[in-house]
Structure 1
Amino acid sequence: MLALLSWFCRAIFLVVVVYFALYVLLELRVFLISRKVEQRKLTELAHSSSGAQIDSWPLVSVLLPIYNESEVVERLIDAVCNFSYPAGLLEILVLDDSTDSTTELARLRAEQHKARGVDIRLVKRSNRKGYKAGNLVNGIQQSCGEFFAIFDADFVPPADFLLKTIPCFEDPKLGFLQTGIGYENRDVSFLTRFQAMEMGHQQYVTVGLSEDGDMASLSGSSCVWRKQCVDALGGWNASTVTEDVDLGYRAQFGEWKYAYLRDVVSMSVLPETVSSYRIQRERWGRGLIHSGFKHVKQMLSQRMPLIKRMHAISTMFSSVLLASIYVLILLSLPLTYFVHFDGAFMRWGTFAFFGLAVLWGLENAFGARRGARFDDKRSAAKDLWDTYRYIAMFLPMAWYYFVGGVRALFGVYGDFHRTPKGKNSYRVIMPRINTVLLAGEVFSFLYSAISVLLGFKRGNYFLIPLNVTVCVGFGMVLYWTCKERRSLKKY
């Protein structure tokens, strides 16, 4: 029985290592493409949008789906009402599902802009059916535009956003366009800095995916959609909590083109509390994993070159890979106890895993700093320590995605919890899943600490670096939890 358990643990370990190796090599390829285009416009479409003028500007509907966003809704409305765009060709719909003071704030601000001639309307529903997806579907049914520009409540787009993006749609096959995102509170703490870097890395990689014509997973905010494309796809689907990714996948499978304009940047706000961060990432993991499996059959039926199919698989199942890293954490204790890594296969498999982790970490951190536009000068020691902490933070993320994947497996697709931002996040009552995730953090920290002690006791040192890094990652989020609870008394 023990031999069977040992064999099973080794088999799972090696499967994850092979999966991780393929992912790292594919990402490295895209990373190198991103570097080649870093000093020039990112796509041919982006070239045409620079200073472009078109003969006839189309009618654009700006959709602002909001829900209880009293701290940021007014500045969002101000920003889109100051768009530079031909008069009479812009309508703004504030799609308000709020149940608090946000509604009155939005109404008053909309009336102020309407009084100076802006075409802006506040759209209320009788219920929140379908959450954000349902809100957007309701909005487009009441819109008149040929294109939809969409912004979440915490975004502040630049005034020339439409002048730089709409000319790209002269290509009739361009279905949607994503722009860059910056974060105004990225330097509040290492937690916000990590998030800015992690999502900056995603943006940097998307540069290469876009340039190479590969499948990408794009955000649902600070983007523009062609109405014809949305109508052809049947609109947003409320069966998943990542409705934006779902629609993007369907568009790409439908042979619509996408463009990514990293140089057009809207500012946003990151979660500042670890509780907000937890529930956001569990929701993202659940939705991304659900979307991946939901569309895998359609992806496999598409005719595409092998390298593009591999990138599609890598994109759609990167969340599954992250969740599987947590499986390695769970396996570390039995592997340390039962397996002495005497065989060359396991020994080299372990060396390969750590070698790939280092390669991925360095590439990821470099791309993250470029993508997030960090240009601060730091000492080599500080930079190395922050890079290590950056890598360590992916291990708590693996736990959140693991929980999200398990919940998706059991059919929990629509359990949507808005991510509170700013000081408001200290006053929000967190959903029950936050407690579950916190309990898992405590367990993971203690479990890995025991694995470290067992490794030293048995002279089995191969997985100690992994377990130490797990303790660092989970130790950080537990420390931030303690700080957050002390801060609650101030609010």
Structure 2
Amino acid sequence: MTTVEIIFLAVYFSLLSVLGVYGSHRYRMAFLYYRHKFKLPTPNGTLKALPKVTIQLPIFNEMYVVERLVESVCRIDYPRELLEIQVLDDSTDETCGIARACVERHRQKGHDIVYIHRVNRSGFKAGALENGLKLASGEYVAVFDADFVPSPDFLMRTVPFFADAKVGMVQVRWGHLNREFSILTQAQSIFLDGHFIIEHTARNRAGCFFNFNGTAGIWRRSTISDAGGWQHDTLTEDLDLSYRAQLKGWQFIFLPEVISPAEVPVDMNAFKSQQHRWAKGSIQTAKKLLPTILKSDLPLLVKREAFFHLTNNMAYLLMVLLSVLMPISMVVRFQHGLYGTLFLDLPFFITATASVCVFYVAAQRERGVKGWERFKYLPFLMSLGIGLAINNAKAVGEALLNQQSGFARTPKTGAEGKSVKAVKKSYRGSKTLMPVVELLFAAYFTGALWFAIDSRIYTSVPFIILFLAGFLYVGASSLLQGLAGRAKVPDAAPAVTPSEEQPRQAA
């Protein structure tokens, strides 16, 4: 072998090793979950009286879901004199009129609800929340995004935990209103189940840091100010504030048994936009806070988990590099008769690929799914995760290079079950050239698959099929949905009349 080929294989196996470390972290999450599964959180003490709570509803162009959101929040079981609701609207479309009219209807019914509109999106969601806090009267602040439908008992099940003066935030688990809509929404729901049921529970009960997820949680107002308030120098203001608060010594509580249902994106481009924002924001937060965390006197367990949590999306950048090198590695080893070295890829399969199976099967088991249902989506989950690598690697690269970008909202359609409203163009995911790149990767792996079969290198075929299927599905779905004029769905869009009244600061 030439020196170049030796260096090439060394780089290839180094990538496998690092990805294997990140993959093995899922095993650790599962271990910590089962170790602390029965360490159920209970309120430490009793509140002398129910406190005043402000519920903030940050929205931006949410004409299809804002009424559902406001109505569900107004059904929350809590004394009306102790509950304030803020609709924080940065919208630039018909949402303004719909939201204002909805707020007025519920105010006439006796709810303490206010409509606050900003004429600019300074700071995006973080800016809207910070602006709302200036006018809020509650001692505690709950936040719900536009696509959520909180249960009536949300406050009565979360507020009691603030009897402990050390508790700064309580997060509940996300549910999924449209899990059954398509295989894509099924996969997203399973991804989120793994994050909430396994990861959040494991981190919280093992004494590690975990994060507020931007919605479906409630904060002690003094915790927000003590941690430095909402800041918008990252795209994940929730993750950023969470770590700053816990660095200050505040304790967080996660309640997996309390579920707040929400909508997951039905459109591939919307899903990719959401993933891009989360991936980029996590790396921005890692750059901002990880040096402080590692230099602190926190326990090693907490530091180690924070490192993996905040840098996990780096794996996507490595996955893209691996995608380029894998077929070449196969050819190089074949030409030199190194068939046996193909089995060196097996540890990667066990630590990275198999860990996905163990992690998400455990999450579905804990959710109560039985039998074959726990396993049937696993091949698609693995392929989808690989297919997202280019999209998320781009996000990671932008964060590492300090490329700034706006807060791209995830379009909401009001989807529930298997139905979704037809929506206008601006409410669909944005189109980019990324699908072309993903389809080029699919073509690349098609050639690799042909070579592997023709050369009888069958040990590489399962890996190649996973990568090929992932890039082909993500690329083709993005391209086709981007080219579609309107989603072909049965329900018509609601009639909307734009308000003739100019937006006011508060109504």
Q: What TM-score does the superposition give when structure 2 sets the normalisation length?
A: 0.87
- Using a 3 Å threshold, how does the CA distance of structure 1 residues 243 and 329 change in structure 2: closer, same or farther? same
Partner residue, 1:359: 354
- Using a 3 Å threshold, how does the CA distance of structure 1 residues 228 and 432 change in structure 2: closer, same or farther? closer
- Using a 3 Å threshold, how does the CA distance of structure 1 residues 384 and 47 change in structure 2: closer, same or farther? closer
- Using a 3 Å threshold, how does the CA distance of structure 1 residues 54 and 3 change in structure 2: closer, same or farther? same
Once the two structures are superposed, residues 54-98 of structure 1 have per-residue CA deviations (whole angstroms, 9 ceiling, x without a partner) of 322221111110000011101111111122123321111100001
Task: Indicate if the aligned counterparts of 1:333 and 1:448 stay in contact, CA closer than 8 A.
Answer: yes
Q: What is the distance in 2 between the residues matched to 1:131 and 1:480?
A: 29
Task: Give SS of 1:265's match.
Answer: strand
Partner residue, 1:448: 445
Task: Indicate if the aligned counterparts of 2:412 and 2:427 stay in contact, CA closer than 8 A.
Answer: no
Q: What is the distance in 1 between the residues matched to 2:397 and 2:3?
A: 25
Task: Indicate if the aligned counterparts of 2:330 and 2:342 stay in contact, CA closer than 8 A.
Answer: no
Partner residue, 2:12: 13
Structure 1 residue 34 corresponds to structure 2 residue 33: yes
Partner residue, 2:78: 85
Range with bigger deviation, 52-61 or 479-488: 479-488
Range with bigger deviation, 108-117 or 154-163: 108-117
Partner residue, 1:55: 48
Structure 1 residue 389 corresponds to structure 2 residue 380: yes
Range with bigger deviation, 444-453 or 387-396: 444-453
Partner residue, 2:204: 210
The structure 2 residue matched to 1:303, chosen from 285, 297, 304, is 297
Task: Indicate if the aligned counterparts of 1:157 and 1:222 stay in contact, CA closer than 8 A.
Answer: yes
Once the two structures are superposed, residues 247-276 of structure 1 have per-residue CA deviations (whole angstroms, 9 ceiling, x without a partner) of 112122222211101111111001001111
Q: What is the distance in 1 between the residues matched to 2:276 and 2:369?
A: 30
Q: Partner amino acid for 1:278?
A: K
Q: What is the distance in 2 between the residues matched to 1:239 and 1:228?
A: 21
Task: Indicate if the aligned counterparts of 2:422 and 2:487 stay in contact, CA closer than 8 A.
Answer: no
Structure 1 residue 23 corresponds to structure 2 residue 22: yes
Structure 1 residue 259 corresponds to structure 2 residue 250: no
Q: What is the distance in 2 between the residues matched to 1:415 and 1:409?
A: 16
Task: Indicate if the aligned counterparts of 1:183 and 1:269 stay in contact, CA closer than 8 A.
Answer: yes
Q: What is the distance in 2 between the residues matched to 1:402 and 1:463?
A: 24
- Using a 3 Å threshold, how does the CA distance of structure 1 residues 121 and 8 change in structure 2: closer, same or farther? farther
Q: Which runs of 5+ in 2 are unaligned?
A: 414-419, 490-507
Task: Indicate if the aligned counterparts of 1:9 and 1:334 stay in contact, CA closer than 8 A.
Answer: no
Q: What is the distance in 2 between the residues matched to 1:137 and 1:279?
A: 24
Q: Which runs of 5+ in 1 are unaligned?
A: none
Once the two structures are superposed, residues 425-455 of structure 1 have per-residue CA deviations (whole angstroms, 9 ceiling, x without a partner) of 8533489973222122111211221222333
- Using a 3 Å threshold, how does the CA distance of structure 1 residues 429 and 93 change in structure 2: closer, same or farther? closer
Range with bigger deviation, 177-186 or 333-342: 333-342
- Using a 3 Å threshold, how does the CA distance of structure 1 residues 428 and 374 change in structure 2: closer, same or farther? farther
Q: Could you tell me how far 1:4 is from its partner in structure 2?
A: 4.7
Q: Partner amino acid for 1:389?
A: F
Q: What is the distance in 2 between the residues matched to 1:489 and 1:308?
A: 45
Once the two structures are superposed, residues 273-322 of structure 1 have per-residue CA deviations (whole angstroms, 9 ceiling, x without a partner) of 11111111112111112212222211211223333322221111111123
The structure 1 residue matched to 2:425, chosen from 414, 428, 433, is 428
Aligned residues: 480
Q: Could you tell me how far 1:465 is from its partner in structure 2?
A: 2.5
Task: Indicate if the aligned counterparts of 1:58 and 1:89 stay in contact, CA closer than 8 A.
Answer: yes
The structure 2 residue matched to 1:312, chosen from 290, 306, 317, is 306
The structure 2 residue matched to 1:488, chosen from 480, 483, 486, is 486
Q: What is the distance in 1 between the residues matched to 2:129 and 2:353?
A: 42
Task: Indicate if the aligned counterparts of 1:215 and 1:315 stay in contact, CA closer than 8 A.
Answer: no
Q: Could you tell me how far 1:9 is from its partner in structure 2?
A: 3.2
Q: How does 1:370-389 map to 2 (within 5 A)?
A: 370=365, 373=367, 375=369, 378=372, 384-389=375-380
Task: Give SS of 1:271's match.
Answer: coil
- Using a 3 Å threshold, how does the CA distance of structure 1 residues 22 and 478 change in structure 2: closer, same or farther? closer
Q: Partner amino acid for 1:206?
A: H
The structure 2 residue matched to 1:468, chosen from 465, 468, 477, is 465
Q: Could you tell me how far 1:464 is from its partner in structure 2?
A: 3.4
Partner residue, 2:119: 126
Q: What is the distance in 1 between the residues matched to 2:61 and 2:460?
A: 45
Task: Give the structure with the higher percent helix.
Answer: 1
- Using a 3 Å threshold, how does the CA distance of structure 1 residues 215 and 21 change in structure 2: closer, same or farther? farther
- Using a 3 Å threshold, how does the CA distance of structure 1 residues 225 and 330 change in structure 2: closer, same or farther? same
Task: Indicate if the aligned counterparts of 1:97 and 1:135 stay in contact, CA closer than 8 A.
Answer: yes
Partner residue, 2:192: 199
Task: Give SS of 2:320's match.
Answer: helix
Q: Could you tell me how far 1:218 is from its partner in structure 2?
A: 3.7
Q: What TM-score does the superposition give when structure 1 sets the normalisation length?
A: 0.90
Partner residue, 2:176: 183
Q: What is the distance in 2 between the residues matched to 1:376 and 1:255?
A: 40
Task: Indicate if the aligned counterparts of 2:178 and 2:263 stay in contact, CA closer than 8 A.
Answer: yes
Partner residue, 2:215: 221
Q: What is the distance in 1 between the residues matched to 2:464 and 2:478?
A: 21
Q: Could you tell me how far 1:116 is from its partner in structure 2?
A: 1.9
Q: What is the distance in 2 between the residues matched to 1:425 and 1:414?
A: 29
Identity of paired residues, percent? Answer: 28
Once the two structures are superposed, residues 89-145 of structure 1 have per-residue CA deviations (whole angstroms, 9 ceiling, x without a partner) of 111110000111111111111111111221110011121111111111111111121
Once the two structures are superposed, residues 28-59 of structure 1 have per-residue CA deviations (whole angstroms, 9 ceiling, x without a partner) of 23313323554x4x54xx3228xx86322221
- Using a 3 Å threshold, how does the CA distance of structure 1 residues 92 and 128 change in structure 2: closer, same or farther? same
Q: Could you tell me how far 1:376 is from its partner in structure 2?
A: 6.0
Task: Give SS of 2:146's match.
Answer: coil
Range with bigger deviation, 126-135 or 289-298: 289-298
- Using a 3 Å threshold, how does the CA distance of structure 1 residues 349 and 192 change in structure 2: closer, same or farther? same
Partner residue, 2:345: 350
Task: Indicate if the aligned counterparts of 1:350 and 1:462 stay in contact, CA closer than 8 A.
Answer: no
- Using a 3 Å threshold, how does the CA distance of structure 1 residues 4 and 109 change in structure 2: closer, same or farther? farther
Task: Indicate if the aligned counterparts of 1:289 and 1:408 stay in contact, CA closer than 8 A.
Answer: yes
